[in-house]
Structure 1
Amino acid sequence: MKQNNEFLRKRPAERNRRVLFDLSNLILPVLIVVIGLIISTQTYAKLVGYNPKYTDAPFFVTTRKFLFIDKGYPFYNPGLIFLNIMSKGLTDNLIQSVILQSLFPFLVSAGISIVVFFAVSAIRGYGLNKNDNLYGTSRWGTEKDIKKFGLSEKRGVVLAEFQKADVRAKVNPKNTSIQLSLKKLAPLICIAGNTNVLMIAPTRSGKGVGSVIPTALNFPWSIIFFDPKGELFNITSGFRSKFSVVLKFAPKNPDGNTVCFNPLEEIHLDNRIVSDVDLVIQNLFEEAKGGENANSQFFNENAKDMIKTTILHILTADNPEYADKKNLPGVFEIMSLAAKPDEEEGQEGEEQKKSNPGDKLFGEMFETRHLLQGQEAPWLQTLIEAGAGRMLQMNPKVRSDVFSTVFSKLQLFSDPLIAHATGHSDFKLDDFVTSDAPISLYLVVPFAHVDVIAPVFKLLINFMLRRFSDGETSYGEVKLKNRLLFMLDEFPVLGNFPFLVKTMGILAGYGINFFLICQGLNQLVDIYGQNHPFLDHCKTICIYAPGKIEDAKAFTEAIGKESVTKESISTSGSRYAVALNNLNASSQEVARDLMNPDELMHLPPSEALIMNQGMPAYIAKKVVYYDDPRFKNKAYSVRDEKDWLRFKWYFNPLFTLPIGKNGITIGYPSLKFTIYRTDNKEKKTYRYRDSGNCKKGWIVLFTRRKRSMETGFEPLNTMERLEGELKALPSNKGKLVGREKEESDKNQKQNNMTVNDNEDENFNIVDYLESFADIEEISPFQGEMIDGEPPPTTVPLTPDVFSSEAN
């Protein structure tokens, strides 16, 4: 069956159609009058009893029955009847008694013919002026379109609400911020299908209030947030903890309140190890804008080779000394030691090679067995030895420059907070595959540190994408037990994602979708080029009033044109006449943009433009979560503090970090550490207060957690049951607005913090000890031993660490 497509332009109206209207305007009224005349004639003949004196002879007599007309029924000539009446005159008593009754059908038909004449004339005029959509067929979407295309689901990604909602916007004149308020509720525009969503929303446009926070409170499956301000975690993690496992990965959190993730623990120790290590290195070496010059490319390629060889060596070496170094901070530490100057200067030949730490490291790679899953792998041994050989043959000056390039990429892991957060893994990526309960992972970092942490987050995201899309899947089969949404606010600040660009279109088949948020298209163009694929991969686009004319032009052009009829009226006559003598009216079909770029830029703060593939553009109203009964009682819920991860705590010096040039000189006010005696009993927990006068000689002991059970989490509460409990709660709009402002001010203050490092000051042990809240006798310490793991490295604190002047 042929289906009509309203958005395909039709051909112009043909001339035959116009001729048909002209003929109909003449023929139909005449035909109606003739029929009425015949009926009046037959009525007259019947009333006079078919008397030949009054009717003359019949014009036609039926020879057989036809429809309701019997055989032998006579038809009379209206003209002869008229002449007969005129010859006898109207004075005849019989004629006088039947004439009015006989004329009634004729008079009715005459009236009908007049009505038909004007009706056909109007229709003909409309047909001549009808819009044939020669220049475009665009129109605005309706609620029917929203429902037809599946954008009105109850659960999923929240974009906006129907146009009939009453949302008011008020501008604060003091700080020009926009305060939204909801007066009338409307159904949500919500996507629950396997669809990628792109949101274009300038800063301070209300995307958090209108879409990000509502989505976090409405999405019932697994979700990964990029939360550059931390406010999303504070607002939504409480509610999500009631039906999902909440994880907060905040590497720069000064109090150490973060789950930890070691990318090297996710590397497959089989024939996939090389490709996994390459993925780690790709995220560390992001290509610079405009490409690299030959010199930079040379050192970058050699640095990649050096890091790759070292990681492969550390992960697979049959050497217990590397047991606690299988992480990026450990790689940085080992390579830092290898880059030190020769132990004894002035030596030459083999003696110099033996004393050179770099030669020792790369020479060790030839002497050490490398195992995969407990078995020797000759191909891996050959690969590592080849890489080590290239490093040994390198000119010492060149190798020194290569080491400098390596440290420029690994320097972030010298930060003790990042080193702690990446030293081990508190969760496994397989948890997202096997867990019965949804998982909510928040990637939190102060905006000022985004550039530093971006490689770590990219490693995590890329490993997830690679792991979740590994293997085969069939149509309709979802690999993950719970669908996974990547909601990446301020997505462009994370940098380039080559793997995401290539696979984003097919990841939906594995149950993975994306909600990407950026301030403008220029951010994507700047990183991915003019031909970036995100508009192709994202079926649904939500647009707030853009700030750049280029973005407005791109979207209004995509909305399309409509064809409208423009009427022109011209008048003529004498200038001094009482009235104009002539008036001419004409119409013409012209093209018109459904929305101009300036109109889109002037879109009210309470509205959003929704574009979906195959659907007309729809202007919607923004959601106001703190006024909306569907969300306001969920925000700022108390978080369930449960040990979902099933870890046990223990203390282990994963690495030693002296306070000083490579240690904690940055002043983290609430950093805690614990000192142990030689008998493994806890001596005292100290809170580090001020590092400005602390330089050398102290060893920081970090805490870590060890997984004690299998992957996966048990199912928790359902969102439907939780919503039923929350409906009865009182409104807390005032608290929500106030807490939202408080969180915003807090994050702004945190982003403006500056870091001071007074490296040139002399170390003073008295001042140093006074920087702690509580101090007892300091004795050597060591970490607790864990079954199945080699003993940790112990670093005794002996009196000779401190100078005599300080004592």
Structure 2
Amino acid sequence: MNRKLGRYVKAGALVVCAIAVLSGAFVVWSFNYAAATYLLSRQTAMWKAVVVDGSWRAALDQVVAYWGHPMVMKLVTVSTVALFCEILALVAIGALIYFQPWKVKAPKGAARIATEADLKKAGLLDGVPGKSIVLGSYKGKKIRYSGDSHIYVNGPTRSGKGVGFVLTNGLEWRGSLIALDVKKEMWQEVGPARLAMGQEVFLFSPGSAESHCWNPLDSVSDWPRRSTEIENIANTLMPSPEKGDAFWTATARSVFAGLLGYVLDSKRMERRRTIRSVVRLFSTGKDLASVMKTILNEEPDLHPYVADKFRQHISRDPEQRPSFEAHIMTALNAWNGALMAAATSRSDFDIAQLRRKPFTVFIGTPAGDLGSAEALIRLFIQQVHDVLMRELPGKDEPHKLLMMLDEFYQFGRLPEIVDKTPLVAGYGFKIAIIAQNIPQLDARYGKPIREMLLGNMDVKLNIAVGDKATADYVSEELGRHYILREGWSSSPGKGGMGLRSNSRSGRFEAEPLISSDAVRRFDNRKSLLLVRGHNGAVLDKLHFFLDRDYIEARKKVAGFGEALNVPVLEPLKEGPLFEPAPEAVTAAPEPESVKPAIAAPEPVAAIATPISEPYAVEVLERTASEGVVAATAVEDEEEVISLDLPAFGSLRKLLSESEAVAKTHPVVARLRNVVAEEARTGFLEPGTDISAFIRA
């Protein structure tokens, strides 16, 4: 309605201006006609009527009455030509006054502080609440950015980043939202509003006893894309060192990718497809190469990618293998903790649905725990980025994601996000990178990469600046304007007699629009906005707790806070790592030298072996993957003797522990001899009927 009324007002103003111009032109033409009548015919009647009596219609009435008369037509021509000449003269005078050609002009292209018209031209006054990023206000009007570019927000501690940007956008944004919330302030203040929008709200707080869960491996695709995605996970958790030889880390990443592929591919890992299971592969009591050999023998149907990675590691120098494995264990150290393992044991939300059905995730790891949870948080951010960039949004993905990375420095290096900043347009998400100052980015990425990162961001909001390096950057980005510097000189005049000649000269010098020092001392109630291709603007800061709009909005949704809840994590009940999958096992078990010491799984079959002697029955218990795991001898009217293996497939222990019993129990003696002989020759395979050997 306001826009429609504004158009009517503009149209009315144009009509009034046109009438005024035409009226003025008519008055001037009438004056010209009267003057021409006097000059050409020496008659004063028309002059008196028009000029003295003010009867401006007299000239027009005469022209209408005597139209066609030669003298009248001549007067009309002269007065009309004079009118056009007068108009041209007025235009020329106006141009002279406006352009002032006698003055030295400043060079073109000078910077200036943006006006309301500039902000409108930049599209910052037309943003729709909930679908745009609110940056501040200008003369009471909200300034919003609706483009696809990432946003950089700068401000030291306690400068207003939270109340002026993070909380305000968290309250307004209608799409999916992911935000770092170490103080859990957003959870408490913004969470109710997110629920009121109809969204599910999650608090992912790895390292805490209360947290929603997310399993990084749940978002991994099937083969053949799986290999690329698990390598991305490995790259994120094991980034290349900034200095030194990257060979060890790169090789360790390759091994880690193979282990991730195994956990995702093996039927034994069903219901345990987590990073914690990768850690447990190092905790079997045997070296990793031995575990890999056993897996290759017992699971021949593994994907070639996994099998190749395992064989490559087995073939490496035995003295180097521990170094590669140590790199992996160092990177995965956090998963030795029960809380981290529990927080990544399942997924309460699906990041692939962020553009389909909006939901909110607050990353609420306490500041003191960020060191241990940093790798997982970095992986979460990286995987959200990678999943959303697999393909452009479909018709069933109408919503957008806003990811607010407060304290960006804490996340370590995120090379994928930095490298792909120019490519995000059209993928339906934007990232607000929030840092205390530019030196933080330089320390993490180096100056060249930082310049590339910020150079690809269309919007940079400087809530406050507290250091010289950032102030220099902001001052340079605001641009320069030109100041006229004047000088005077005096010299002896010609002819002597004490006369002097004074002269004045001037030149334009470029100066910062706002100096670096002035940027650091800028009004604490103001912020400096930089937008690509437009003049910098001075905005009023927003305040989540003081601005009336936000106070009223919070009151409306206060009742939803009671519905916020976070599950209490319980330590995982970890059973045997290798649960057999009978249909996947066809190979014989490995010899003792390559079998890892992993807790014995429950037996899946019992083979009763009757013998010819009436007083005894032997039972061999086997599993499909480990072979003999228990031997039992039963005598008529006698006690039951059970020999259970402490580790699966350990024939040596079976033989050694049964030696004493065999001296007094003939059945056990025969059983022991059979097992020893067949193990020595290599003919004892899972499922072998040994009743014939026992009878013999």
Paired with 2:315 and 2:193, the residues of 1 have a C-alpha distance of 59
Say if 1:313 and 1:365, in contact at 8 Å, map to a contact too. no
Say if 1:313 and 1:384, in contact at 8 Å, map to a contact too. yes
Paired with 1:390 and 1:517, the residues of 2 have a C-alpha distance of 42
Q: Per the alignment, do residues 204 and 582 of structure 1 end up closer, same or farther by CA in structure 2, a change over 3 Å counting?
A: same
Say if 1:429 and 1:464, in contact at 8 Å, map to a contact too. yes
Q: Which residue of 339, 353, 356 maps to 1:417? A: 339
Q: Which residue of 74, 94, 115 maps to 1:142? A: 115
- 1:365 aligns to 2:295 (yes or no): yes
- 1:452 aligns to 2:401 (yes or no): no
Say if 2:464 and 2:520, in contact at 8 Å, map to a contact too. yes
Q: Per the alignment, do residues 218 and 129 of structure 1 end up closer, same or farther by CA in structure 2, a change over 3 Å counting?
A: farther
Please give the per-residue CA displacement for 1:352-394, whole angstroms capped at 9, x wherever unaligned: xxxx453541112212336xxxxx56xx23x333333333344
Q: Which residue of 615, 618, 633 maps to 2:552? A: 633
Q: Per the alignment, do residues 609 and 479 of structure 1 end up closer, same or farther by CA in structure 2, a change over 3 Å counting?
A: farther
Please give the per-residue CA displacement for 1:318-353, whole angstroms capped at 9, x wherever unaligned: 32xx3343211121122122xx3xxxxxxxxxxxxx
| Aligned equivalent of 2:274 | 327
Q: Which amino acid aligns with 1:247?
A: F
Paired with 1:393 and 1:70, the residues of 2 have a C-alpha distance of 116
Say if 1:626 and 1:632, in contact at 8 Å, map to a contact too. yes
Where in structure 2 are the equivalents of 1:429-444 lying within 5 Å? 429-435=351-357, 438-444=358-364
| Aligned equivalent of 2:5 | none
Q: What's the offset of the Cα at 1:650?
A: 11
Paired with 2:457 and 2:94, the residues of 1 have a C-alpha distance of 50
Paired with 1:35 and 1:570, the residues of 2 have a C-alpha distance of 55
| Aligned equivalent of 1:516 | 433
- 1:225 aligns to 2:179 (yes or no): yes
Paired with 1:298 and 1:496, the residues of 2 have a C-alpha distance of 19
Q: What's the offset of the Cα at 1:619?
A: 0.4
Where in structure 2 are the equivalents of 1:17-166 lying within 5 Å? 44=42, 70-71=69-70, 123=96, 127-130=100-103, 132-134=105-107, 136-152=109-125, 153-155=127-129, 156-164=131-139
Say if 1:478 and 1:510, in contact at 8 Å, map to a contact too. no
Q: Secondary structure at the match of 1:552?
A: helix
Paired with 1:270 and 1:122, the residues of 2 have a C-alpha distance of 73
Paired with 2:408 and 2:569, the residues of 1 have a C-alpha distance of 36
Paired with 2:439 and 2:484, the residues of 1 have a C-alpha distance of 37
Where in structure 2 are the equivalents of 1:118-517 lying within 5 Å? 123=96, 127-130=100-103, 132-134=105-107, 136-152=109-125, 153-155=127-129, 156-164=131-139, 186-243=140-197, 244-253=199-208, 256-289=209-242, 291-293=243-245, 297-319=246-268, 322-337=269-284, 340=285, 356-369=286-299, 380-381=303-304, 383-435=305-357, 438-472=358-392, 480-517=397-434
Say if 1:236 and 1:634, in contact at 8 Å, map to a contact too. no
Paired with 1:369 and 1:530, the residues of 2 have a C-alpha distance of 49
Please give the per-residue CA displacement for 1:260-286, whole angstroms capped at 9, x wherever unaligned: 111122222321121121111111112
Q: What's the offset of the Cα at 1:535?
A: 1.9
| Aligned equivalent of 1:181 | none
Q: Per the alignment, do residues 569 and 126 of structure 1 end up closer, same or farther by CA in structure 2, a change over 3 Å counting?
A: farther
Say if 2:135 and 2:145, in contact at 8 Å, map to a contact too. no
Q: Which amino acid aligns with 2:179?
A: F
Normalized against structure 1, the TM-score is what? 0.56
| Aligned equivalent of 2:480 | 561
Paired with 1:212 and 1:231, the residues of 2 have a C-alpha distance of 10
Q: What's the offset of the Cα at 1:406?
A: 2.1
Q: Which amino acid aligns with 2:388?
A: F
Q: Secondary structure at the match of 2:549?
A: coil
Q: What's the offset of the Cα at 1:614?
A: 1.9
Deviates more, 1:613-622 or 1:450-459: 450-459
Please give the per-residue CA displacement for 1:666-686, whole angstroms capped at 9, x wherever unaligned: xxxxxxxxxxxxxxxxxxxxx
- 1:528 aligns to 2:475 (yes or no): no
Paired with 2:436 and 2:472, the residues of 1 have a C-alpha distance of 16
Q: What's the offset of the Cα at 1:222?
A: 0.8
Paired with 1:273 and 1:190, the residues of 2 have a C-alpha distance of 40
Q: Per the alignment, do residues 309 and 585 of structure 1 end up closer, same or farther by CA in structure 2, a change over 3 Å counting?
A: closer
Q: What's the offset of the Cα at 1:563?
A: 3.3
Please give the per-residue CA displacement for 1:714-764, whole angstroms capped at 9, x wherever unaligned: xxxxxxxxxxxxxxxxxxxxxxxxxxxxxxxxxxxxxxxxxxxxxxxxxxx
Percent of pairs with identical residues: 20
Please give the per-residue CA displacement for 1:577-611, whole angstroms capped at 9, x wherever unaligned: xxx99986666444332221111111111100111
Q: Which amino acid aligns with 1:140?
A: I
Paired with 2:98 and 2:128, the residues of 1 have a C-alpha distance of 48
Q: Which amino acid aligns with 2:327?
A: T
Q: What's the offset of the Cα at 1:402?
A: 2.9
Please give the per-residue CA displacement for 1:182-239, whole angstroms capped at 9, x wherever unaligned: xxxx121122332321111122211111111111111111111022332222221121
| Aligned equivalent of 1:106 | none
Q: Secondary structure at the match of 1:630?
A: helix
Please give the per-residue CA displacement for 1:451-492, whole angstroms capped at 9, x wherever unaligned: 32121112222222222221356xxx6773311111111112
Paired with 2:446 and 2:458, the residues of 1 have a C-alpha distance of 20
Q: Which amino acid aligns with 2:123?
A: G
Q: Per the alignment, do residues 483 and 44 of structure 1 end up closer, same or farther by CA in structure 2, a change over 3 Å counting?
A: same
Q: What is the aligned-residue RMSD (CA, Å)? A: 4.0
Paired with 1:37 and 1:149, the residues of 2 have a C-alpha distance of 53
Paired with 2:524 and 2:395, the residues of 1 have a C-alpha distance of 38
Q: Secondary structure at the match of 1:510?
A: coil
Say if 1:149 and 1:615, in contact at 8 Å, map to a contact too. yes
Q: Secondary structure at the match of 1:557?
A: helix
Aligned length: 506
Q: Per the alignment, do residues 249 and 129 of structure 1 end up closer, same or farther by CA in structure 2, a change over 3 Å counting?
A: farther
Q: What's the offset of the Cα at 1:249?
A: 0.2
Q: Which residue of 512, 516, 522 maps to 1:593? A: 512
Structure 1 unaligned residues grouped into runs of 5+: 1-33, 49-64, 76-108, 165-185, 341-355, 371-375, 575-579, 658-807
